[in-house]
Homo-oligomer: A and B are copies of this chain.
Amino acid sequence: MGLIVQKFGGSSVADADRIRNVARIITETYRRGHKVVVILSAQGDTTDDLITKAAEINPEASRREMDMLLATGEQVSCALCAMAIEAMGYPVISLTGWQSGMKTNSSFGNARIKRVVPERVLDELDRRSIVLVTGFQGVNKYGDITTLGRGGSDTSAVAMAAALQADLCQIFTDVDGIYTADPRIVKNARKLEEITFDEMLELATLGAQVLHNRSVELAKRYNVNLEVLSSFTGTPGTKVKEVVKPMMEKTYISGVAKDKDVARLAVIGLADEPGIAFRIFSLMAKEKINVDIILQSIGRHSTKDISFTVCKGDLEQAQKVLDENKSLLGFDHVDVSDNVAKVSVVGAGMVNNSGVAATMFEALYNAGININMISTSEIKISVLVNIEDADRATQVIHDRFFDEYGHRD
C-alpha cells in the first residue's frame, strides 16, 4: 500500500472506450489499496485542433492566450475520466493545474514548475478519493494559466510524484517500455527491465522520445521511481532509476538509438588560427541554434575545416548566419547535407570499457557503412551516417552487442 502517481498520454484517453480502459487501470490500482493520483493529457488531437482554431483567428496569438486556450484540453479529459470512474462506483475528483497547486513561472507556452503546493490533492487523498490532475499546465503568481510545453504532462507527473513523495510514478504510453532499439527497425530489440536516469536522458535526446527529457531530469533530481509502461497491454514496463541492479559481466550498453532529425554543415577552408571555432559557435549560440557533434580537421594549404550538426529545423538559419559572417570568419565555402542520421549506443556500463567504440565501428565496417562523424560521451557513442544506411546501422550495431554480449534483462 503506497502512493502511486500514474500518467496517461493523449492516445490513452482519445475516446470513450480508451477512457474506460484508463479508468479500469486506475481503479484496479486503487482496489489494491494504493492512494492514486493520476495526471492526464488532452485527448488525442485536441491540442492540435485548438492550435488550428487559434491560427485561423490569429497566427501570432500571444502565448498567454494560447495557454488559456490549450489548458482546456486536459480539463476535458480529466472531467470525462472522472465520470468514467464515477460510473464504476469509485470516489474520484478531478483538479486543474491551479487547483492542484502546480505553481509555475510566467514563461507562457513553456513554463517551468517552480513548486507544487498539493494541499487540495492531499485533502482529497485523505478522503480516499482517486485524484485526477490536468497535466501540462499550471498557474503563475498572478493567477494566469500557463502550460509547460509539449510533453509537459510527463513533467507534471514527476513533479507531483516528487511533491507527494510518491512510491512510484508510472508513465503509461502507447509503447510498453524502453527497448534496446526501436522495435520497428530492429526486430530482435528487447524490452529493458531497468534503465538508469542518465541512459534514459541520452536515449530521449537521441529521438527515442518515450519520456520527455525534462521529466527524466526532474525524476533524477528528486529520485522519483519511474516506470514506463503501456496502457494497452497490461504487462510490466521498464523501470527508470538512479542505479540499476548488477549487470551481467559482458553487458555494456542499454540500447541503440537512431535520430533522423539532424543535418550537417561543413565550413571549408578556414584560416588555421586560434579563435575560429569560438567565433562560429558563439554566432550559433546567439541565434539559439543547438550544435551537437563538432569535428575539426586540418585542410590543405594551412587551412582547416569545421563540421558540425544541428537539428534539421535549424539548418537554414545556421547556413544564413555563416553566409552573413563569411568575411568575418574567412572561409572558402559551406557544404551542407540533411541526408544524414545519427546512430548511437547508450549505456552506463560503457564508461569502463573502451572496447565499445571499437566494437561499434567494426560492426559498421563489416556492413560497409561509412562513418561521417563521431562523437562520444561517458555513456554514449554516436556516429553520423548517410540516412539510407541508418536503419541497417542500427540493426548491425544492435546485433553485435546484444547477440555477442548478451543483454541486460
Contacts and interface: CB of A to CB of B under 8 A. Distances in A.
A383 interface: no
Interface string A168-207: 0000000000000000000000000000000000000000
Interface in A61-75: 61-62, 64-66, 68-69, 71-72, 75
Interface stretch (A78-86, A237-245, A260-268): A78-86
A151 to B, nearest CB: 22
A220 interface: no
A120 B145 CA distance: 14
Contacts of A298: none
Nearest to A69: B79
Contact of A65 (B60, B62, B79, B98): B79
Nearest to A94: B68
B65 A83 contact: yes
A218 B68 CA distance: 29
Interface stretch (A30-38, A50-58, A302-310, A384-392): A50-58
A80 B84 contact: no
Given A94-B65, A94-B68, A143-B99, A58 B84 contact: yes
Q: Which of A19, A61, A80, A143 has the most CB of B within 10 A?
A: A80
A257 interface: no
Nearest to A84: B57
A99 B75 CA distance: 16
Nearest to A81: B57
B75 A61 contact: no
Interface string A137-180: 00000011100000000000000000000000000000000000
A50 B143 CA distance: 26
Contact of A20 (B54, B57, B66, B96): B57
A76 interface: yes
A86 B99 contact: no
A64 B93 contact: yes
Contacts of A19: 57
A79 B83 contact: no
Nearest to A87: B58
Interface residues of A, number: 38
A68 B82 contact: yes
A195 B96 CA distance: 43
A99 B54 CA distance: 22
B65 A86 contact: yes
B75 A57 contact: no
Given A68-B75, A72-B75, A83-B62, A57 B99 contact: no
A295 interface: no
A328 interface: no
B86 A75 contact: no
A99 B120 CA distance: 18
Contacts of A120: 143
Contacts of A61: 82-83, 86-87
A321 interface: no
Interface string A219-245: 000000000000000000000000000
10 contacts: A19-B57, A54-B83, A57-B87, A58-B86, A62-B83, A68-B78, A68-B82, A72-B72, A99-B143, A120-B143
Interface of A: 16, 19-20, 50, 53-54, 56-58, 60-62, 64-66, 68-69, 71-72, 75-76, 78-80, 82-84, 86-87, 93-94, 96, 98-99, 120, 143-145
Given A16-B57, A20-B57, A66-B79, 9 more contacts: A16-B56, A53-B80, A62-B86, A64-B93, A65-B82, A65-B83, A72-B72, A72-B75, A120-B143
